[in-house]
């Protein structure tokens, strides 16, 4: 995609975000988009990774499903009279190796209500995750492995 096409896309995003579709706002969006592209001109590829379209769509769908399910679960937990919580931190052994993949996994976990990525071990083999209900850490590990981690490998694997 050419820089002009990228600048036009950024201009349209600017117009949608600001909610103003005047010629002046389009011009400002185009200038800001061109400036952003100039500042980020030293683009780095994903380190040899190729994004596979269909597995990426499946990953996004999985995230939206997990987001909805955990939001409902947290809402039910909050309105309960007896919140029998067992919060805790568990270690998750990573199969992912690149910074991009680990960061994506950590962000997907953090964006899901009830969980928070706390840290990655220095050797990048373990992700520490805080869960509001850590009564079944083995089940949480299995859910991450068969869900987000597997889908990330399918979508961005080498």
Domain that holds residue 119: 53-156
63 lies in the same domain as 34: no
Domain count, the chain: 2
pLDDT of residue 38: 81
Rounded CA separation 154/59 (Å): 9
pTM over 0.75: no
Q: Could you tell me if residue 88 is inside a domain?
A: yes
What is the structure's pLDDT at 158? 56
Three-state DSSP state, 131 = strand
Q: Which segments of the chain have a pLDDT < 50?
A: none
Give the pLDDT score at 47: 55
* 65 in a structural domain: yes
- The terminus-to-terminus CA distance of the chain in angstroms comes to 22
Same domain, 83 and 147: yes
Residue 63 lies in a domain: yes
- Phi first, then psi: give them for residue 119, nearest 5 degrees: -165, 160
| Residue 66 in domain | yes
């Amino acid at each position: 995609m050419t820089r002009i096409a990228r600048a036009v896309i950024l201009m349209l995003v600017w117009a949608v975000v600001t909610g103003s579709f005047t010629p002046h706002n389009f011009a400002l969006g185009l200038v800001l988009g061109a400036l952003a592209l100039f500042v980020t001109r030293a683009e780095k590829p994903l380190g040899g990774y190729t994004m596979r379209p269909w597995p990426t769509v499946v990953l996004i769908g999985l995230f939206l499903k997990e987001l909805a399910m955990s939001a409902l679960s947290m809402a039910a937990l909050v309105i309960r009279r007896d919140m029998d919580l067992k919060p805790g931190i568990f270690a998750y052994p990573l199969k992912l190796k690149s910074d991009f993949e680990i960061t994506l996994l950590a962000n997907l976990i953090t964006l899901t209500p009830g969980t928070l990525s706390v840290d990655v071990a220095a050797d990048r083999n373990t992700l520490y995750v805080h869960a509001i209900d850590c009564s079944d850490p083995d089940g949480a590990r299995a859910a991450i492995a068969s869900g987000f981690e597997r889908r990330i490998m399918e979508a961005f694997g080498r």
